[in-house]
Chains A and B, each alone.
Chain A
Amino acid sequence: MVVRTARDDELALADLLDRALYKGVVLWGEATISLAGVELVYVGLKVLVASYATSERFRSAARSGAS
């Protein structure tokens, strides 16, 4: 019996949304997404997430080579 650890390439999108949209430092820039905007994005993405068969995983592997 082992504990399953989801790492980088198998993290769930839902776990990222719960963090990136609701947690983290808020530095209010003049174009910072509003709380109402966050709800809008979250609800839209929930629909997107729900349209996949199971909890969706995402890839966070590096895309390097920017010039």
Chain B
Amino acid sequence: MLQLDRSETRHRPAEAQRVYVYGIIREEEGGERPNVPPLEGLAGNPIRIVANDGLAAIVSMLEPRAAGAPFEEDLKDPERAKSLILDHHRVLRQIIDDRTVLPTRFGALFADDRKVVDALNEHRHGLFEALERVQGAREWGVKIFSDRSVLCRHLGEESPAMRAAQRELAGATEGRAFFLRRRIAQLSEEEAGRAIAQTVEASRRSLCDVARADAAMKLQPAGVHGRADEMVWNGALLVAKAADARFFALIGELLQVHAPRGFHYETNGPWPPFNFADCRLGVRENGCSNGA
């Protein structure tokens, strides 16, 4: 671990270099000054901190090539953009186990350290509030998938309306059978939709017994998640590090309960608490919320 002295943390960068911000931490946590591992940041530059009045930004310099205005120009090359975004995450990932971090959204560039300090001062209240919310916690992703054919088979055996239609179908004339099959298919769709919504909500509520907060992210299509079944929830949970074991035990229990009806659970992480630091500081019409 590299202990950075405060006097080293403020210097004006060479001409045209800019300061890239990864995240915000408290200047002291548990009585300790910020320790930043000797990491490489974007484009291989060393990570350092810019501290001011209780808050500290995790930063590194970005060369003119990468910082050339506008920043977007440099990001038009997807491979280059991907590499920078991976760097952004990699730096935060090395820090979240030891410290409470508010991750910044990818792409925050400042002219120099002074401008970073100005931003910390300007948003001081909101940043402390957000740090308080995520204190000691990390984000885990939880995805719920549903295999509709398994669910519908199960519902066909459970639902009185569907069982009645099935029984009638056995002795029905051809015309009546056509109508009944359509009715069964429609009932099956409706009941599956209800069962999915109920299972997602029950799982979410159950996870929130252990997690501090939850947020729903947009569902991913099959081409992205790569599974044969359908994604029905793409959640993010803010979980205190001390509660990790309980959290994973709970997901195991949810799987046991809901797997017979064709539900599947996947988790990913740990992430910096991106979904719980989602406040556009300085944009008045968008207030801070507990998870998007």
Contacts and interface: CB of A to CB of B under 8 A. Distances in A.
B72 A40 contact: yes
A4 B264 CA distance: 10
Interface in A15-46: 15-34, 36-38, 40-41, 44-45
Interface residues of B, number: 81
Interface string B46-86: 11000000000000000000010111100111110110011
Contacts of B127: 25
B108 A29 contact: yes
B3 interface: no
A15 B268 contact: yes
Which of A3, A11, A45, A47 counts the most chain B CB atoms within 10 A? A3
B223 A50 contact: yes
A27 B37 contact: no
B225 interface: yes
Contact of A27 (B21, B90, B265): B21
Given A30-B111, A32-B109, A16 B72 contact: no
A25 B119 contact: no
A1 B39 contact: no
B86 A60 contact: yes
B256 A40 contact: no
Contact of B226 (A36, A55, A63): A55
A61 B37 CA distance: 13
A26 to B, nearest CB: 5
Given A28-B119, A33-B107, A55-B225, A23 B47 contact: no
Closest 3 CB pairs of A and B: A33-B107, A31-B109, A37-B72
19 contacts: A18-B217, A21-B85, A21-B105, A25-B102, A25-B127, A25-B278, A27-B104, A28-B283, A29-B116, A31-B71, A32-B108, A33-B75, A37-B71, A40-B75, A41-B75, A44-B81, A55-B226, A64-B37, A64-B38
